[in-house]
Structure 1
Amino acid sequence: MSTDHAETLDRDKLFTARLHAARVRPYLATALFALHVVESRWVPTMAVDPHWRCYVSPAFVDRTPVAELAGVWVHEVSHLLRDHHGRGDRVARERGLTGPGERLRMNIAADCEINDDVFGDGLARPEGAVEPSSLLLPEGQLMEDYLRQFRLGPRFQHLAWLDCGSGADGLRRRWDLGPDGAHALSPQEQDMVRFRVAEGITGQPGNVPQGWRRWAEQAFHPPQPWRVLLGAAVRSAVAAPGVGEDYSYGRPARRSAGIPGVVLPALRRRLPRVCVIIDTSGSVSDAELGSALLEVAAIARVVGGRRDLVTVLPCDAAAHIVRPLCRDASMPLIGGGGTDLRTGFARALRQRPRPDVIVVLTDGQTPWPASRPPSRTVVGLFHRAARYNEDDPDYRPDAPPEWARVVTIGSAPTGR
């Protein structure tokens, strides 16, 4: 690590560089001016922590041109806007990445995500900035993708100095002031900064690099955790023992060899059939019905994109027409009355062949079958702050039965 001999930080030069960065990247101005500068002689160059402090080496500022400092400002604030500290921690836990070497690798991967399209158009590339092309890696990918594509070795020795701080990988540094230190932004303040930046990007998409447009889209429409859970629940159901299994004489069982003159069928695995029951009662909103159609498309992907294996059954107080997904792209959702999904279960189980898995998308204001159906069941429950009946204030809907796998749709992930 370099030793800092400068007595004081040249704040005029540093802030001139920030002003230049804000002028050439106006959509990042809110984030740039939200950073609080902390002078530090422990930092090799500039670094950030998850609480939106920017630690700055006086010697680095002294030897770096203003134009390049502007690029460093944008680079460092990009780590925070893209939540590299939170993502880094999650990746470290999921993949068992420990030690300073893995954190350096994570910092390099995060830099590749930022630097592939951040410079140019008025913003100078700082000396030593890591770009995917310089490491023989493809452009346009995310930190998590880059992490899978390289390991530290002699080719990366020249990057050993790299340290953008805990804001780049989530590992606290010795110079960090921590969550209780001065000038830390609260999580609510951080979210407000991100929202303002995303708002600025969507307001002028033609002047913004693709990486930032993708980030802004996710900031306004973040990935929904329930879709991950619902997909996992359906995958678990279709992969369970007995699901999609049947006996066939097309391949005799090995046991036939022990019984001369008798041919026994073998158990074969086939792709499972899924019936999606959509609650179309009056208590389900148009937005929830739209979400249900998105879930149907995701469910089709779970069975390998075989739309012919997925049927859709609209149901309010009565079951309506069962429609194969592959035959009707418009998929009209008939209903609007009361709710009794027991009729939907009965209609689904009369299909031939019978579905292996039943997925129910509902607000939960329905009676349920008294006994476990022969098909595995997954319930996607539309999130409601309160569930009630205007005609009966004391009404509380029955919870989905214990034999169903339940995922709440449209809120923080919950399930059983």
Structure 2
Amino acid sequence: MDKLCTARLHAAQVRPYLATALFALYVVEDRSVPTMAVDRYWRCYVSPAFVDRTPVEELAGVWVHEVSHLLRDHHDRGDRGARHRGLTGPGERLRINIAADLEINDDVYGDGLTRPRGAVVPSTLGLDPGQLMEDYLRQFRLGPRTQELVWLDCGSGADGLEREWDRGPDGGHGLSARERDAVRFRVAQGIKGRPGSAPAGWRRWAEEAFQPPQPWRELLGAAIRSAVSAGGAGEDYTYGRPARRAAGVPGVVLPSLRRMPPRVSVVIDTSGSVSDAELGSALREVAAIARAVGGRRDLVSVVPCDASSGSVQPLCRAEGIALVGGGGTDLRAGFSRALRARPGPDVIVVLTDGQTPWPGHRPPCRTVVGLFPRLDAASTVRESEPDYVPDTPPAWARVVDIG
């Protein structure tokens, strides 16, 4: 324990913005753990033999690595990704663990923090740095290049699969959901308070985590998840798996209905009545929408629109989207542009202040509208007529007030 605590102190000294999280971990000695592992309740399970043979400097790197899994919510993200892609069994969970490690290890070491022996980095698998766990997960499979990583096990905190050593929610010394969120928020405050002192991956994480939880975010997220999971969204016929009813018609091959990842088109109001702060909020919502569809950024496109629509932009990173506009507002052009894309969207998400005409007919896909707040009628921007009054969103759209 003395050696372990010394390593944790060293980690806090070289990464002071992580100190709150490092000292929030509760240490559990367990000889069945290969090295060090964490669970979602912020318990850190430690092998005494591993601590004995590992130098203090490397142990400090392991401390930072394990707490990074928890700060970046790899437990829920890994479990969600496994359900979404049908990844079962220890082999696929190992792949999730490796992908989570790649997200962490690409820029966490250096500047006083030693990289532990055996730590996997993107270049180990011939991949580019700076990506998220979900991106890496799609780019490699278990094979000859990963044979030396079969020992890797960072616990359920890294991939969502419970281990035999996990104490569970009633095991004592675990953090509640509120306490876990408080730790993440304090760490994000530390990173935002010292700009430039943290790697790019941590700064990107803090930018998203620093936004305080608000009811409208939960409502908007629930509306999007409801739309993308509804019947008909992202469904198609496939001959890869025979239909169950094919047994009733011998000699005839019938297709089955397969659930496909839904495509989402985000129409962002870039007219002069929308402030820069609201456009920044819209970009954060685009990143949240990408997470709602399982991290598949290739399935999310963005259409900036004022009185005319811009080009459809595929989502690489939210901060790289060019939101060009500043004129009047007519989001009907944005709807038309989104629906002309091939393949077409399963869901259209509109982020606007509502000062726009709306399509006269319901689109052939589900629609979610996020409305930026306007205090009163006097604060609205007049369009072409002195008595202009914006139309309310149509009844066929699910509307959430953003504020």
TM-score normalised according to structure 1 size: 0.63
- The aligned counterpart of 1:148 is 138
1:280-305 per-residue CA deviation (whole Å, 9 max, x = no partner) reads 8xxx9997798689999x9xx99977
Counterpart position of 1:408: 400
Q: Does 1:380 align with 2:402?
A: no
In the alignment, which residue of structure 1 is the partner of 2:40? Answer: 50
**Relative to structure 1, is the Cα distance of residues 182 and 373 closer, same or farther in structure 2, using a 3 angstrom cutoff?**
same
**Correspondence list, 1:156-175, <5 A:** 156-175=146-165
- Classify 1:200/1:42 alpha carbon distance in 2 versus 1 (closer, same or farther; 3 Å): same
How many Å apart are 1:124 and its aligned residue?
1.1
Equivalent residue for 1:66, pick from 27, 44, 56: 56
Per the alignment, residue 324 of structure 1 pairs with 308
Q: Residue in 1 aligned with 2:182? A: 192
**Separation of aligned partners in 2, 1:303 and 1:124:** 38
Q: Deviation of residue 380 (structure 1)?
A: 1.8
Unpaired stretches in structure 2, ≥5 consecutive residues? 235-264, 290-297, 311-322, 341-347, 377-391
Instruction: Note the 1:31-46 alignment, pairs <5 A.
Output: 31-46=21-36
Indicate the residue corresponding to 1:3 in structure 2.
none
Deviation at 1:152, TM superposition (A): 0.8
Given that 2:108 and 2:199 are in contact with CA atoms closer than 8 Å, whether structure 1 keeps it comes out as yes
Q: In the alignment, which residue of structure 1 is the partner of 2:247? A: none
Question: Secondary structure of the equivalent of 2:196?
Answer: helix
Conserved 8 A contact 1:362-1:379: no
Per-residue deviation, 1:407: 3.8
Q: In the TM superposition, what whole-angstrom CA distance separates every residue of 1:128-156 from its partner, at most 9, and x where no partner exists?
A: 11111122221111111111111111322
TM-score w.r.t. length of structure 2: 0.64
Displacement of 1:158 after TM fit? 1.4
Aligned to 1:206, the other structure's residue is in SS state coil
Larger radius of gyration: 1
Partner Cα separation in structure 1 for residue 137 and residue 101 of structure 2: 11
Deviation at 1:216, TM superposition (A): 0.8
Q: Is the 8 A contact 1:230 1:380 kept in 2?
A: no
Say if 1:85 and 1:166, in contact at 8 Å, map to a contact too: yes
Contact between 1:35 and 1:52, CA under 8 Å: does it hold in 2?
yes
Task: Give, in whole Å, the separation in 1 of the partners of 2:108 and 2:39.
Answer: 21
Q: What number of residue pairs does the alignment pair up?
A: 319
Unaligned runs of 5+ in 1: 1-10, 241-271, 313-322, 335-343, 389-398, 412-416
Structure 2 counterparts to residues 279-318 of structure 1, below 5 A:
312=306
Q: Which residue of 2 aligns with 1:178?
A: 168
Cα deviation digits, residues 359-382 of structure 1 (max 9, x gap):
987899xxx99xx94454946254
Match for 2:30: what amino acid?
S
Aligned to 1:108: 98
Q: Kindly state the Cα deviation for residue 211 of structure 1 after the two structures are TM-superposed.
A: 1.0
d(CA) in 1 for partners of 2:327 and 2:20? 45
| Residues 306 and 29 of structure 1: CA distance in aligned 2, closer, same or farther (over 3 Å) | closer
CA pair 145-287 structure 1, distance change in 2 beyond 3 A: closer
Deviation per CA, 1:58-104, whole angstroms, max 9, x where unpaired?
Answer: 11111111111111111110100011101001100110000000011
Residue number in structure 2 paired with 1:30: 20
Note if contact 2:17-2:190 (Cα within 8 Å) is conserved in structure 1. yes
The Cα RMSD (Å) is 4.9
Q: What is the distance in 1 between the residues matched to 2:35 and 2:78? A: 21
Contact 2:268 2:282 (8 Å CA) reproduced: no
* Cα distance change on mapping 1:275 and 1:383 into 2, 3 Å: closer
Q: Is the 8 A contact 2:352 2:372 kept in 1?
A: no
